[in-house]
């Protein structure tokens, strides 16, 4: 399946309710030599200092870290947004954090990550929107597509909560609507890899 | 036509944003030139929608010819978001590890840099009061946004936020009933005037102003994340120069002095709560 005429350089993923399980089905299958940075916003309670990097590091082949302010985006690494902060990517591909107001009641917000990443990588970005109970991420995914990047959405039939992927399908035209297994294969294929 | 970020040519936005920031600096001496670009862009996008401007250039036209419009824009560029005792563990660490040291000084000067609408200023005043230090403390609360400073000085917050403030206060090791500190009236919580006696509110920019006093404690939380590296370094330089020997610096929970040009001037007191100490 050829979705884009040009190569990508980075992957951003957004998920909300049901997202931990969805990400556990996806991220552990990316091979250790997966070449691109993978940047993830998962909605969690603001009060929880993010437990995600530790949770996932034990299960993924790729290294996992919490994204840090003013630090460069690392190739071949999974980055999680810290709880309670928006995560943005600067055009020079460094991270920036913000405590601006929540968007769609969410901080970190998927739109904030996706839209800044679209500025940073343009057509060389793949965005993936997974299960969730609100509409965060639809606008961000539309921006990624508008800049020539790849917009992928989890099939609402498969999602634990269909609202978030459905919002994207209703407001834009994703390149593909796929199951988690298909999404995993697609992300690997973009890098010329096979899923674990 | 109205502003739509997806239809707006990206390169145009970038050029116009730079021009806007330069115009603001030349006209009003507010220096956003070293702010983190991604957040700044988002804030200006938000301002375009709220102020009903189609282009950044149109916004610049308004702002440069009207102080009132500039003042309106500043509200978006500085987005005040705060709550009392945000990150309770930070205030607990101040209470348990910093204030006992500060108690050995005959008088105290404390600087809250980027105080926004003042929630942290009142939090700290409550802490000092409960540890018996408020009477001998002077708290300088500074910000670049005059409307935020006015609200900080007023010390009046929507009563809807008080529940959150209260649970934060308790988690921070509060010693009394939080309701001792405010009066609820007309949907507002009005904080005790006694807390304000030792506070001074002043306009101060970490981008353009100098050190104004010697301090024993500086708290500057979730301000530096909006700066680029160069401006972060300038701010850390000001903090080092303002702090007395062995003075304390408190930062936001994702901020650190460690990777800055002034890393060697500070040691880490509490890693998790982001409190540093001048060497």
Task: Tell me which DSSP letter residue B97 carries.
Answer: I
Same domain, B115 and B212: yes
Same domain, B50 and B107: no
pLDDT at residue A2, as a whole number: 65
Digit-coded pLDDT (tens) for A98-147: 999 999 999 999 999 999 999 999 999 999 999 999 999 999 999 999 99
Out of A84, A100, A112, the one facing B79 most closely (by C-beta) is A100
Of B77, B96, B115, at which residue does a domain stop?
Answer: B77
- Residue B184 gets the label, from left (phi > 0), alpha (psi -120 to 50) or beta, of beta
Q: Does A143 sit within 8 Å of B38, measured CB to CB? A: no
Point out the catalytic residue in the list A9, A16, A50, A116.
A16
Half-sphere exposure for A120 (CA within 13 Å, toward CB): 29
pLDDT at residue B16, as a whole number: 97
A16 is catalytic: yes
Of B34, B58, B77, at which residue does a domain stop?
Answer: B77
Q: What CATH number is associated with residue B108?
A: 3.40.50.150
- For residue A54, give how far its alpha carbon lies from the nearest alpha carbon of chain B (Å): 16
pLDDT band, very low/low/confident/very high, at A48 (cuts 50, 70, 90): low
Same domain, B108 and B194: yes
Residues A183-189 have a mean pLDDT of 97
- For residue B204, give how far its alpha carbon lies from the nearest alpha carbon of chain A (Å): 21
A175 is catalytic: no
Out of A82, A98, A101, the one facing B226 most closely (by C-beta) is A98
Q: Nearest residue on chain B to A89, judged by CA atoms?
A: B38
Same domain, B36 and B154: no
Place of tokens 């690392």: A74
> Strand ranges (DSSP E) for B76-235?
108-113, 137-143, 156-158, 182-185, 188-191, 199-203, 215-220
pLDDT at residue B2, as a whole number: 63
Which residues of B, range 170-229, sit inside 8 Å of A by Cβ? 222, 225-226, 228-229
Place of tokens 């500085």: B78
Chain A residue numbers touching B253 (CB-CB < 8 A): 49, 84
Same domain, B178 and B244: yes
Same domain, B170 and B58: no
> Does residue B68 sit within a domain?
yes
Of B20, B45, B77, at which residue does a domain stop?
Answer: B77
Chain B residue numbers touching A70 (CB-CB < 8 A): 228-229, 232, 259
> Does residue B2 sit within a domain?
no
Q: Which of A66, A70, A87, A103 to mutate to test the interface with B (most CBs of B within 10 A)?
A: A70
pLDDT at residue A46, as a whole number: 67
Digit-coded pLDDT (tens) for A133-145: 999 999 999 999 9
pLDDT at residue B5, as a whole number: 74
pLDDT band, very low/low/confident/very high, at A47 (cuts 50, 70, 90): low
Same domain, B72 and B184: no
pLDDT band, very low/low/confident/very high, at A44 (cuts 50, 70, 90): confident
Same domain, B240 and B163: yes
Give yes or no for a contact between B120 and B152, defined as CB atoms under 8 angstroms apart. no
pLDDT band, very low/low/confident/very high, at A63 (cuts 50, 70, 90): very high
| Inter-chain Cβ pairs, chain A and chain B, closer than 8 A | 61
> Does residue B180 sit within a domain?
yes
Same domain, B33 and B100: no
Same domain, B52 and B184: no
Question: Is B37 in the A-facing interface, judged by CB distances under 8 Å?
Answer: yes
| Domains assigned to chain A | 10-190 (3.40.50.180)
Residues A40-47 have a mean pLDDT of 84
Out of B5, B42, B222, the one facing A99 most closely (by C-beta) is B222
> Does residue B83 sit within a domain?
no
A155 is catalytic: no
pLDDT band, very low/low/confident/very high, at A6 (cuts 50, 70, 90): confident
Chain B residue numbers touching A82 (CB-CB < 8 A): 254
Same domain, B129 and B199: yes
pLDDT band, very low/low/confident/very high, at A4 (cuts 50, 70, 90): confident
The DSSP H or E segment spanning B49 is helix B37-50
Report whether pLDDT(A179) > 70.
Answer: yes
Can you list the residues of chain B whose pLDDT is less than 50?
Answer: 1
Same domain, B160 and B62: no
Q: Does B6 sit within 8 Å of A142, measured CB to CB? A: yes
Point out the catalytic residue in the list A9, A79, A136, A175.
A136
Overall number of domains in chain B:
2
Which residues of A, range 35-94, sit inside 8 Å of B by Cβ? 49, 68-71, 82, 84-86, 88-91
Burial class for A179, CB neighbours closer than 10 Å (0-12, 13-18, 19+): middle
The reported pTM is: 0.95
Give yes or no for a contact between B262 and B229, defined as CB atoms under 8 angstroms apart. no
Q: Which of A83, A100, A109 to mutate to test the interface with B (most CBs of B within 10 A)?
A: A100
pLDDT at residue B79, as a whole number: 73
Domain that residue B53 falls in: 10-77
Chain A residue numbers touching B41 (CB-CB < 8 A): 116, 119
Chain B residue numbers touching A68 (CB-CB < 8 A): 254
pLDDT at residue A91, as a whole number: 94
The DSSP H or E segment spanning B278 is strand B275-278
pLDDT at residue A70, as a whole number: 94
Six token digits for residue A84: 């309670």
Reported for A23-27, long-range contacts at CB under 8 A and 24+ positions apart, including other chains, are: A23/A56, A23/A130, A24/A56, A24/A59, A25/A180, A25/A181, A25/A184, A26/A130, A26/A180, A26/A183, A26/A184, A26/A187, A27/A56, A27/A59, A27/A60, A27/A62, A27/A78
């Amino acid at each position: 399946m050829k979705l884009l005429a040009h190569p990508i350089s980075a992957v951003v993923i957004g998920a909300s309710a049901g997202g931990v399980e969805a990400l556990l089905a996806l991220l552990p299958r990316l091979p250790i030599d997966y070449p691109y940075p993978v940047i993830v916003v998962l909605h969690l309670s603001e009060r929880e200092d993010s437990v995600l990097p530790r949770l996932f590091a034990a299960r993924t082949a790729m290294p996992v870290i919490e994204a840090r302010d003013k630090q460069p985006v690392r190739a071949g690494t999974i980055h999680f947004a810290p709880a309670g902060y928006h995560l943005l990517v600067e055009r020079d591909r460094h991270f920036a954090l913000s405590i601006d107001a929540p968007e769609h009641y969410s901080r970190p917000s998927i739109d904030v990550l996706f839209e800044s990443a679209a500025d940073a990588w343009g057509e060389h970005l793949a965005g993936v929107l997974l299960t969730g109970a609100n509409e965060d991420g639809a606008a961000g995914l539309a921006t990624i597509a508008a800049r020539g990047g790849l917009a992928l959405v989890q099939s609402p039939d498969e999602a634990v909560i269909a609202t978030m992927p459905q919002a994207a399908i209703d407001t834009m035209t994703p390149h593909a609507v796929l199951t988690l297994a298909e999404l995993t294969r697609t992300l690997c294929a973009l890098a010329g890899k096979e899923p674990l | 036509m109205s502003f739509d970020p997806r239809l707006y040519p990206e390169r145009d936005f970038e050029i116009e944003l730079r021009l806007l920031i330069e115009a603001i600096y030349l006209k009003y001496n507010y220096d956003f030139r070293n702010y983190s670009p991604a957040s700044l862009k988002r804030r200006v996008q938000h301002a375009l929608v709220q102020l009903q401007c189609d282009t950044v250039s149109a916004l610049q036209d308004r702002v440069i010819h009207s102080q009132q419009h500039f003042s309106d824009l500043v509200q978006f560029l500085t987005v005040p978001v705060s709550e009392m005792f945000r990150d309770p563990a930070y205030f607990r660490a101040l209470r348990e590890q910093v204030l006992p040291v500060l108690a050995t000084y005959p008088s105290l000067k404390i600087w809250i840099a980027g105080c926004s609408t003042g929630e942290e200023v009142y939090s700290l005043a409550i802490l000092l009061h409960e540890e018996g230090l408020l009477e001998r403390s002077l708290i300088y609360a500074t910000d670049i946004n005059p409307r935020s400073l006015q609200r900080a000085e007023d010390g009046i917050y929507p009563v809807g936020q008080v529940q959150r403030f209260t649970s934060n206060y308790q988690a921070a090791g509060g010693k009394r009933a939080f309701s001792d500190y405010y009066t609820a009236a007309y949907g507002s919580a009005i904080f005790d005037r006694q807390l304000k006696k030792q506070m001074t509110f002043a306009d101060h920019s970490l981008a353009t102003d100098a050190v104004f006093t010697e301090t024993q404690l500086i708290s500057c939380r979730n301000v530096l994340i909006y700066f680029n590296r160069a401006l972060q370094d300038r701010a850390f330089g000001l903090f080092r120069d303002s702090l007395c020997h062995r003075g304390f610096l408190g930062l936001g929970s994702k901020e650190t002095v460690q990777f800055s040009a002034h890393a060697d001037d500070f040691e880490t007191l509490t890693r998790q709560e982001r409190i540093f100490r001048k060497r």
